[in-house]
Amino acid sequence: MRYNDLNHFLKKGRDALRKGPVAMIFVEDFVEVDTTIRHHQFAGFREILVLAPDELHLPDDLEKGIRRIPYDTAADGATARAVNAVIEAAPGLWLYYCYNAEYLFYPFCETRKVGEMLAFHTDERRDAMLTYVIDLYADDIDAHPDAVSLDDAHLDRSGYYALSRPDPANHNHPRDRQLNFFGGLRWRFEEHIPPARRRIDRIALFRAKPGLRLRDDHTFSDEEYNTYSCPWHHNLTAAIASFRTAKALKTNAGSTFDIRSFTWHNSTPFEWHSQQLMDLGLMEPGQWF
């Protein structure tokens, strides 16, 4: 179903926001848009909102199964502005957002739908879930100049770390149960990445509520939403396997000629399976078995 713009969807497409979880996919270019949509359809999202330029062409079967919303994803603050508009229209609903060539993985996602996981997470009195954005990249970027290949995808098996997140309102003391996470291509090629964009943590799964706002740095106005677990035990976390950073580094004129390869001694083929991410410590099943 197509709409004229985001405001038109919020007026005429409110039936899509009756039950969750609802996924929002922001299309920044036309790379792997169809596989991104299909991956999240398989995960079990009840509705998928595709915010994309008008020029995007999709197969007919995909067009019928999504809500197509023309949107300028390149504008400053575009992601937060759209997410916040949907939050305001859908209080109580579980929402998710990502970009094209990004793929959500969570513990046991091969056999369990995302709604099952979020039902358990809700029972644990959690309204948000930390997701690590794990960089994917093609092993052979001569064969794949944009560094994107699903068949040749690799990731870093080590090199991830966390630092305390200071609270400016409390003399820069560490925030409770909040950390800044780093690693992957944003760490190894940090000279090409602005400091504000080097973190790999994103609260991509969350439950909307009145007054909640997503900020441009992928954190929320409610600080409890930005925590990695509740105070009494470890909670579920998820991962987003993403070609987004690799694409940017290879299409940006300031970095593309400095990078001959993304692989190093800690590269390993991506198996497209949640068990690999759990084995590498890149997501946590918590109490969900």
User: Whole-model pTM?
Assistant: 0.96
Strand bridging mode 238-242 / 137-138: unpaired
User: How far is it, in rounded angstroms, from Cα 251 to Cα 236?
Assistant: 34
**Contact by Cβ (8 Å): 24, 95:** yes
Tell me the residue range of the domain where 9 lies: 1-100
User: How far is it, in rounded angstroms, from Cα 22 to Cα 161?
Assistant: 31
Distance of CA 133 to the CA centre of its chain: 6
Do 165 and 282 share a structural domain? Answer: yes
Domain boundary among 100, 129, 157: 100
Digit-by-digit pLDDT tens for the chain (289 residues) are 899 999 999 999 999 999 999 999 999 999 999 999 999 999 999 999 999 999 999 999 999 899 999 999 999 999 999 999 999 999 999 999 999 999 999 999 999 999 999 999 999 999 999 999 999 999 999 999 999 999 999 999 999 999 999 999 899 999 999 999 999 999 999 999 999 999 999 999 999 999 999 999 999 999 999 999 999 888 999 999 999 999 999 999 889 899 999 999 999 999 999 999 999 999 999 998 7
Q: What is the pLDDT of residue 233?
A: 86
Amino acid letter at 63? E
Q: What is the pLDDT of residue 253?
A: 87
H-state helical runs in the chain: 6-12, 33-43, 60-64, 78-89, 114-123, 185-188, 244-251, 274-279
Domain boundary among 74, 100, 126: 100
Do 272 and 175 share a structural domain? Answer: yes
Do 191 and 95 share a structural domain? Answer: no
Cβ-based burial of 171 (10 A; exposed 0-12, middle 13-18, buried ≥19): exposed
Do 62 and 117 share a structural domain? Answer: no
Cβ-based burial of 191 (10 A; exposed 0-12, middle 13-18, buried ≥19): exposed
| Domains of the chain: total | 2
User: How far is it, in rounded angstroms, from Cα 105 to Cα 162?
Assistant: 21
Rg (alpha carbons) of the chain, rounded to whole number: 18
Domain boundary among 100, 129, 156: 100
Q: What is the pLDDT of residue 44?
A: 97
Do 143 and 23 share a structural domain? Answer: no
Q: Using alpha carbons only, what angle is made at residue 29 by residues 98 and 203, rounded to the nearest 5 degrees?
A: 15
Strand bridging mode 47-52 / 22-26: parallel
